[in-house]
Chain A
Amino acid sequence: MAAQLNLTHVRCCVCESSDAEPVGNGQDFEYNTVPDTFLAMRCNSCGLVYLNPRPSAADFQTIYPPNYHAFDFSEKDFGLVYKIRSRLEAKRLLTWCKGLPDDARILDIGCGDGFHMRLLSEYGKKSWTVEGVDIDKRAVEMAEKAGLKVHLGSIEDGKLPKDSYDLAYMIQTIEHLGNPANVLSAVREVLKPNAKFVIVTDNTDSIDFQVFKSGYWGGYHFPRHWNLFNRSSLKKLAEKTGFEVADLSTIVSPVNWVYSVHNALVDWNAPRFLVDRFTLKSTVSLSAFTSLDIILQKFNRGGLLRAILRKL
């Protein structure tokens, strides 16, 4: 029998309201860790989409299985996709680093196996110090194996030095957090005055969300994505936690398109070979949906949301 989750009911983490309506429901289509049906609720007051009820921290072992992709995105397993993504992500990272001093300290929050940290060490200035923080022991072990400096724990623990970092970024992490507001406040504490903080997360203003929101949307990632934003809810959260929004725009990502189709096929009991055409390893579908998302991004409806914030 599958593990029983410790489900808890929550309110909107941005405006604390519980006035919300179900926008979608579905299962763990990707890893099938539990048989539960989960609900994505949309806050009527700020538009945040959040999982409710949701598992507790005690369920992490269950809902993040050992083969979870964030723990092992390697060149060996992902080949060409790894190469292309590395190039693309390195370019993005370096844009955020423009104007950083030679002795800059950079913090990667929710660094996972250290994919982005490795890119910075490789393509960035050698004089920069890159550090990461992640709550998952397995991820930290992997990052350390690669010689990266990673703190095990949450930034909310308050163990990192205050007013010390020139740049912090959080890539596809905020959606996994239980209390994003607390994390943002903690990030603010460790940043130097006026320092930059970049957040990248799934976009609920995207077309893929519109098409698949009733259940199959890849960004739901049931039950691991707890809070999902659009421009207005992310802006509200940033302002609530003492940041100024310098830029809020969308970036291209085929991932939620690919996984939305994947999830639909899984639910329709499609044959395995067809389902496997829609994963992070399938170059063809990733390329096709990248092309589509490039067009959508021109209309500011890309798959991911990117916020560049400044500590006030």
Chain B
Amino acid sequence: MIDSINGNFMKVKKIGKPIAVIGAGLAGLTAANFLRHNDTDFVLYEAGKRISGLAASFKDAEGFSYDFGAHFITNRLAGAIGVSSECRTIEYYGETVWLKGKIYKYPVGLMKVPRMAFSGAVSKFKSFGNGSGPRSAADWFRKKYGTVLADTVALPLIEAWSGAKADDLSPSLGESLPGSIGKTLYLKAASRVLGRAVACGYNREMPEKASVWHVYPERGVSVLCEKLAEGLEDRIKLETPVEEILVENEKVVAIKAKGETKEVSAVISTAPANILAKLVRGTNSLEHLKKFRYRPMLFVNMRFSGRGLLPDTVVWFPGDEFPFFRLTEATISMPWLAPEGKTIITIDIGCEKGDEFWTMDEESVTEICLEHMAKIIPGARAKFLGANVLRTPIAYPVFLNEYENERKNFERSTGIDNLLSIGRNGEFAHIFMEDVYWRTRRKVGNLMQRA
């Protein structure tokens, strides 16, 4: 893209070696786009047949849309990428917690439960003048929200989500959850007044405010990546997995892809941190990343006739009453994702590779889900239209206390000056789409300055 008016991006500098970007998802494409706009040469390697990575989407013949991963796009992110005119405003987005058959609106509904409010207030009172920091995620949540809310809602959820005991998880997990109660209430109120889903808790890199709300591209989330990739086609190499990253004297010097070695000035990787460690040759400084664990997940997309079958867009299920911890009926917020009079509910089941759910055939998974759904949605079986199951080995990073120091170091740097690790899996961080965009730009900017 050449801006003829101010003559900015005139020509790409091809002096010296290019930067290799690994992975054409949101992070990789943001990095590539930023490099192009700063006249810096790069090659983007993508192992798959097409771009978009986790931010891909497709629509089936019946008109149901499926997006892998994130649904949370704000008008600010859409505006920054230049796709806001292709997005629709989301008028409503809400979360609810299901506790023993009763539903509580998050967060206001929970705060109205007397024993939760009381225990929350007690923990606040106790925390005055108590300087000792929390030792684990369990500790953090109990101190922050009180033991009742922590033990009945927060801790069961994070345990199901991460597959580890809350006592073994690092307190950073809590700190990484955005927003104070006051701010949440303000943003929720703004949402009501303005009649649009003001983003609350789905971005932490940039300030949350009433002028930033959820939007969604009419054609699905992949619109973002397509826009970022515009004009970069000549520098994107599809079906070209990077096999090795060669390091000499703690500096990346080359990469190997399809058996060919290519000299590079730097590497920007979006590979999961533990996989990045396996790609690097010639150094031991990334060895500790191999310990980092990601939580595998099963996502079951179930199609039903009817709309608004769940009490809210997202319903959380703490405790072991159900095999899943979260249900999402996206059409409550984005009605255009399913044909009229029909809906799609996504079920999140945390698992481990090789366990009962991971190895179960699609039909059995669907059957179990349907059985449980019948307890939540009256007549679910009669409304059921079909389902598909998606297995992902790397859904979320697990913040274990066991490698907390290594994780904190990795947050600052990979340890190799000209090697960046970006994106949700690359950073090993609980970040959302907007965070990925701004953080990537900032990190790549710093890399260019160092170079």
Interaction A to B: yes
Interface set of A (CB-CB < 8 Å, partner B): 2, 4-5, 7-11, 13, 16, 18-19, 21-22, 24-26, 34-39, 52-53, 56-57, 178-179, 182, 214-216, 267-269
Q: Does residue B105 face the partner (Cβ distance < 8 Å to A)?
A: no
**Are B8's CB and A11's CB within 8 A?**
yes
Please indicate the chain B residues that have their CB under 8 angstroms from the CB of A38 in the complex: 79, 84
**Are A267's CB and B37's CB within 8 A?**
no
**Are A10's CB and B6's CB within 8 A?**
yes
- The complex places the Cα of A21 from the Cα of B9 at a distance, in Å, of 19
Q: Tell me the residues in window 66-100 of chain B with beta carbons closer than 8 Å to chain A beta carbons.
A: 75-76, 78-80, 82, 84-85
- The complex places the Cα of A25 from the Cα of B206 at a distance, in Å, of 12
B446 to chain A, nearest CB (A): 9
Question: Given A11-B37, A178-B6, A19–B78 Cβ distance below 8 Å?
Answer: no
**Are A24's CB and B6's CB within 8 A?**
no
Q: Tell me the residues in window 181-225 of chain B with beta carbons closer than 8 Å to chain A beta carbons.
A: 193-195, 206-207, 209, 211-212, 215
**Are A37's CB and B82's CB within 8 A?**
no
- The complex places the Cα of A26 from the Cα of B85 at a distance, in Å, of 13
**Are A13's CB and B194's CB within 8 A?**
no
Question: Given A8-B3, A56-B5, A36–B79 Cβ distance below 8 Å?
Answer: yes
**Are B75's CB and A57's CB within 8 A?**
no
Q: Taking chain A's interface residues, is the majority helix, strand, or loop, or is none over half, making it mixed?
A: loop
**Are A22's CB and B206's CB within 8 A?**
yes
**Are B211's CB and A214's CB within 8 A?**
yes
- The complex places the Cα of A158 from the Cα of B103 at a distance, in Å, of 71
Q: Across the interface, name the chain A residue whose C-beta is closest to B75.
A: A37
**Are A10's CB and B85's CB within 8 A?**
no
**Are B37's CB and A179's CB within 8 A?**
no
Q: Across the interface, name the chain A residue whose C-beta is closest to B193.
A: A268
Between B78, B206, B211, B215, the greatest number of chain A beta carbons within 10 A of the residue's beta carbon is seen for B211
A128 to chain B, nearest CB (A): 33
Please indicate the chain B residues that have their CB under 8 angstroms from the CB of A19 in the complex: 442, 445
Please indicate the chain B residues that have their CB under 8 angstroms from the CB of A2 in the complex: 85
- The complex places the Cα of A189 from the Cα of B195 at a distance, in Å, of 53
Question: Given A22-B76, A39-B80, A178–B194 Cβ distance below 8 Å?
Answer: no
**Are A8's CB and B85's CB within 8 A?**
no
**Are A182's CB and B84's CB within 8 A?**
no
The 6 closest A-B pairs by CB, nearest first: A178-B5, A179-B6, A215-B211, A37-B79, A37-B84, A7-B82
**Are B78's CB and A37's CB within 8 A?**
yes
Q: Does residue B133 face the partner (Cβ distance < 8 Å to A)?
A: no
Q: Does residue B1 face the partner (Cβ distance < 8 Å to A)?
A: yes
- Our pick among B6, B7, B206, B215 for the contact of A21 (Cβ within 8 Å) is B206
Q: Mark B325-343, 1 if CB is under 8 A from A, else 0.
A: 0000000000000000000
Q: Does residue B38 face the partner (Cβ distance < 8 Å to A)?
A: yes
A53 to chain B, nearest CB (A): 5
Q: Does residue B34 face the partner (Cβ distance < 8 Å to A)?
A: yes
Q: Mark B55-71, 1 if CB is under 8 A from A, else 0.
A: 00000000000000000
17 A–B contacts, CB within 8 A, in A order: A4-B85, A7-B82, A9-B1, A9-B37, A13-B6, A18-B34, A18-B38, A26-B211, A36-B79, A37-B78, A37-B79, A37-B84, A56-B4, A57-B5, A178-B6, A179-B6, A267-B194
**Are B75's CB and A25's CB within 8 A?**
yes
Q: Mark B4-29, 1 if CB is under 8 A from A, else 0.
A: 11111100000000000000000000
**Are A11's CB and B38's CB within 8 A?**
yes
- The complex places the Cα of A182 from the Cα of B75 at a distance, in Å, of 32
Please indicate the chain B residues that have their CB under 8 angstroms from the CB of A53 in the complex: 80, 82
Told that A8-B1, A37-B84, A178-B3 touch, could you supply 7 new A-B pairs with CB distance under 8 A?
Answer: A7-B82, A36-B85, A37-B75, A39-B80, A53-B82, A215-B209, A215-B211
B177 to chain A, nearest CB (A): 23
Q: Mark B214-258, 1 if CB is under 8 A from A, else 0.
A: 010000000000000000000000000000000000000000000
**Are A25's CB and B34's CB within 8 A?**
no
- The complex places the Cα of A234 from the Cα of B75 at a distance, in Å, of 30
Q: Across the interface, name the chain B residue whose C-beta is closest to A13.
A: B6
- Our pick among A10, A22, A268 for the contact of B8 (Cβ within 8 Å) is A10
**Are A25's CB and B8's CB within 8 A?**
no
- The complex places the Cα of A268 from the Cα of B85 at a distance, in Å, of 20
- The complex places the Cα of A5 from the Cα of B84 at a distance, in Å, of 11
- The complex places the Cα of A26 from the Cα of B33 at a distance, in Å, of 23
Q: Across the interface, name the chain B residue whose C-beta is closest to A4.
A: B85
Please indicate the chain A residues that have their CB under 8 angstroms from the CB of B85 in the complex: 2, 4-5, 34-36
Please indicate the chain A residues that have their CB under 8 angstroms from the CB of B442 in the complex: 19
B444 to chain A, nearest CB (A): 10
B144 to chain A, nearest CB (A): 28
- Our pick among B7, B9, B211, B438 for the contact of A25 (Cβ within 8 Å) is B211
Q: Tell me the residues in window 424-451 of chain B with beta carbons closer than 8 Å to chain A beta carbons.
A: 438, 441-442, 445
Q: Across the interface, name the chain A residue whose C-beta is closest to B212.
A: A25
B36 to chain A, nearest CB (A): 9
A5 to chain B, nearest CB (A): 7
**Are B194's CB and A25's CB within 8 A?**
no
**Are A10's CB and B76's CB within 8 A?**
no
Q: Across the interface, name the chain B residue whose C-beta is closest to A34.
A: B85
Please indicate the chain B residues that have their CB under 8 angstroms from the CB of A52 in the complex: 80
B375 to chain A, nearest CB (A): 41
Please indicate the chain B residues that have their CB under 8 angstroms from the CB of A35 in the complex: 84-85
Between A4, A26, A35, A37, the greatest number of chain B beta carbons within 10 A of the residue's beta carbon is seen for A37
A264 to chain B, nearest CB (A): 10
Please indicate the chain A residues that have their CB under 8 angstroms from the CB of B207 in the complex: 214
- The complex places the Cα of A89 from the Cα of B445 at a distance, in Å, of 44
- The complex places the Cα of A57 from the Cα of B4 at a distance, in Å, of 9
Please indicate the chain B residues that have their CB under 8 angstroms from the CB of A22 in the complex: 76, 80, 206, 438
- The complex places the Cα of A11 from the Cα of B40 at a distance, in Å, of 14
- Our pick among A24, A179, A267 for the contact of B5 (Cβ within 8 Å) is A179
B37 to chain A, nearest CB (A): 5
**Are B82's CB and A9's CB within 8 A?**
yes
- The complex places the Cα of A215 from the Cα of B194 at a distance, in Å, of 14
- The complex places the Cα of A24 from the Cα of B209 at a distance, in Å, of 10
Please indicate the chain A residues that have their CB under 8 angstroms from the CB of B441 in the complex: 18
B85 to chain A, nearest CB (A): 5
A268 to chain B, nearest CB (A): 7
- Our pick among A11, A21, A25, A182 for the contact of B79 (Cβ within 8 Å) is A25
- Our pick among B8, B34, B76 for the contact of A39 (Cβ within 8 Å) is B76
